[in-house]
Amino acid sequence: MNQQSWRVIFSPPCDGAANMAVDEAILQEVAGGRAPATLRFYAWTPPCLSLGMAQRHAEVDRARLEARGWDLVRRPTGGRAILHTDELTYSVIAPQDEPRVAGSVVESYRRLSGGLARGLQLLGLQIAEANPADAGRKGSGPICFEVPSHYEITAGGKKLVGSAQARRLGVVLQHGTLPLVGDLSRIGEALAFEEGADAREVARARTLARATTLEQALGRAVTWEEAARAMAQGFAEALDLPLEPGDLTGAEREAAARLRVEKYAAPAWMLRR
C-alpha cells in the first residue's frame, strides 16, 4: 500500500461549532493540495448534541437542552443524533483516491474500521467486531447509537463506535465517536418525543440495550489520552499508515474561525431542516 504519511492531530477540546468547522477547514485545505491527509482526535466542551445533516431540528427539545447547559450543532455528515460527552472523537480527511479511503463508501468504511478495531485491541478489547456490509439495519428513532450500520464497531453485540461519512471536493471526511464512560441514555433528555414521557423512557432503555461504552466493554476506565494514542497506533498498524504528528496550519485556523461563525454557529445552518 502507498506509504505516503498522514498528519495526526490531537486537538484540545472545543465547542461543537468549532469542531465541525475545523474538520471542514482541513477538508478544504486537503482538497486544494495544501495539506496532507489527516487523522484528527478531539473532544467537546461543553457537551454537545449533534444532528445529522438531514435530521429534523424539530427532534431537539431546546428547552431541555439549554437547561442542561448542552450545546447544539449540525454535522456535515449524515446519521442520527449523538450526545458528545465523555468520549473520543476521530476524523479522517483524505483525498478520494488515497488507497485507504478509495472506492465506495462501504469499502472505505470497511478499511477504516480495521484501524478502529485494532486500536480497541491495543486497549485490551479482543471482542470488537466490524459489522459486515449486509448488517446495516434501519430504524426510525432519532438516536445514532440505537442501531449499528455498515462496518461500525460493536462489542458484545452492542454498538461501541458510531461513524458517518461525507464526500466533497474530491475528499472523504469520515468522523466517528467512541464513548469512553457515562450513561449513553442521557441523550434522551435533549430530544423531543411527541408521544410524551413514556416514549422518552422507551428510547433511553433501547439505547442502553443496544449501545455500550469502552469502560463497560473493557471493565475499566480509559482516559481520553490513552484512547487517542491507542487508536492512532491502531490506524497506523492496520492500514500500514505512517503518521506524522502535526497541528493546524494558519490557513486552517483562519478558515475554521470563519466557518464556525458563518456556518456551524449560524441559525441558517442549524435550522435548515
Residue whose C-alpha is closest to residue 245's, from 5, 9, 3, 4? 9
- Structural domain includes residue 16: yes
Q: Is residue 1 part of a domain?
A: no
Domain count, the chain: 1
**Residue 117, in any domain of the structure:** yes
**Whole-structure pTM value:** 0.91
| Mean pLDDT value across the chain | 90
Select which of 39, 144, 166, 227 is catalytic. 144
Residue 126 confidence (pLDDT): 81
CA 32 remoteness from chain centre: 24
Residue-number span of the structural domain to which 42 is assigned: 6-270
Q: How confident is the model at residue 200 (pLDDT cuts 50, 70, 90)?
A: confident
The answer on pLDDT for 54 being more than 70 is yes
Does residue 114 sit within a domain? yes
CATH number at residue 159: 3.30.930.10
Asked whether 82 and 71 are in contact (CB, 8 A), the reply is: no
Mean pLDDT to the nearest integer, 59-88: 95
144 is catalytic: yes
Q: 201 falls in which pLDDT band (50, 70, 90)?
A: confident
List the alpha helices (DSSP H) in the chain. 16-31, 62-67, 105-122, 197-210, 214-218, 224-238, 250-259, 267-270
Q: How far is CA 181 from CA 21, 158, 160, 200, in A?
A: 26, 15, 11, 21
- pLDDT value of position 125: 94
Q: Provide the residue type at 146 as one letter.
A: E
pLDDT at 258 over 50: yes
